[in-house]
Structure 1
């Protein structure tokens, strides 16, 4: 898989995990927790993207709907 194909594959996931200005500037515990979770998921997605670029085998334990459920606001 080429780097361009990998970037296209992970683009929607990275977009879901972008930290918005309100989340970044928020001072409540809820926004701090959301920033923490999104940051950890961004790191995981980065490493999975690197595995894809090098054609390594792995299984992703989540899908787009599970990401949305995880990042929903209570």
Structure 2
């Protein structure tokens, strides 16, 4: 992981997660996605490290769920 945590825009969050803007805000409201920072005005930015950590946690969660399947 990078030593410097960048603040990224919504478009990059969408690219990294594959989620729509509406789904990202829905998950934030549920407490299931990293909260955005408000640097000023209407701008919103997310911690790149937090988004990447969230993405990895989803992969791990999916892997654990798949381990219980009988194929």
Higher relative contact order (CA 8 A, sep 6+): 1
The bucket for the TM-score relative to the shorter chain is 0.3 to 0.5
TM-score (norm 1): 0.34
* Structure with greater helix share of residues: 1
